[in-house]
Chains A and B, each alone.
Chain A
């Protein structure tokens, strides 16, 4: 039985049996790993609050090699990211990021760059950056890292340039990028966005993290969010639960209190 040690972020979990818990980690060395944490739900568990969602820590686990589930030995908290849990907007956006990683990455498929991106994004939300902005930047870079970058330099259907018409562009996430006006008319169901949004998408992919957080995006941020949500939904094959949660919470709270 191999004992492994790696940095990891808790990205999900569910109760198992009387007092155990199955926890999903996104780890630096092994990618997504699911493990059983024995007695984790007991009040005096050795894990205590360490296995809470979004916690970054040092994971030690046993891998018997006979099951997909490893045995969690301990998880030492490095950063609890408590600030995320203190605000519904931060929680919802961070949950969208964790859900995207949990759904779109394979188990035991190491991706250190993606781990760094998730850790950086959670730290930014925890530190008080706009959760919506962080989610957009994370989403754009995450789909790129997965190898599903949306093409924006030409029409993905006919290959011709000139995808901007009248200051607007059409995005077809099923086809994988922008489509020209004539193809958009033919396929239907495209997302119509401002030309500035396409430009913003290019910039959030490549600009330095600090710079992109300060970029004035205006309404492009909302449109980018819509594109990325549709893209992630298409890749996952189902709508995001965290996005639904955010919509429901925003709708039901007084405007002054909505995330």
Chain B
């Protein structure tokens, strides 16, 4: 990148370290930023720094937060007997958007993955056991992704938590709302059949 001025080359180099961004996209973003008003670019740079300076992990649930404990863990109205296990903070936000769940969360920080060598020691499993040891939890909801890694994590946690005597449930799997049965694959359809419920 010797033909770029040094600050431009630095920004391209920094941007292409982001996931899903290759050299071409990094170059396009850099030249887009060069054309934007100074204030807008300053706002972006300040937002980036603020995220690193002010955001921490909640020491209870491992969600990302600007106050520790996070708002959900500190909320006295939340049901402390319900604990929903998710892989990442984004999954927690997706659950919150439903407005249906009034319990608390535990963010594992990933999922078990034999091909990536991610085992229980790489997740917040010990911390989960310590939370459950306090004895207030009635039900643990395993809300990991419905893929191989998420299923393996749910299976592992179910085995690990069974001796603790809490109720362990798994979120339902099956057809997406608005989907066509005709286009569903056999795995999804069989999961939907397995999880059928009485109606009326």
Contact = CB atoms under 8 A, between A and B. Distances in A.
Interface of A: 12, 16-18, 43-44, 46, 48-50, 52-55, 77, 80, 82, 85-88, 91-92, 95-96, 98-99, 102, 241-242, 244-246, 248-249, 252-254, 257
B77 to A, nearest CB: 31
B155 interface: yes
Contacts of B125: 252
A254 B163 contact: yes
Interface in B66-85: none
Contacts of A52: 147-148, 187
Contacts of A99: 114-115
Q: What interface size band does chain B fall in?
A: 20 to 34
Contact of B179 (A44, A95, A242): A44
Interface string B132-164: 000000000000001110011001100110110
B54 to A, nearest CB: 27
B46 interface: no
B70 to A, nearest CB: 26
B184 A48 contact: yes
B155 A49 contact: no
Given A49-B188, A85-B148, A88-B152, A95 B120 contact: no
A92 B114 contact: yes
B37 interface: no
Interface in B19-66: 20
A82 B115 contact: no
Nearest to B125: A252
A74 to B, nearest CB: 11
B187 A80 contact: yes
A244 B148 CA distance: 17
B112 interface: yes
Contacts of B179: 44
Given A16-B20, A86-B155, A77 B185 contact: yes
Interface in B154-181: 155-156, 159-160, 162-163, 176, 178-179
A99 to B, nearest CB: 6
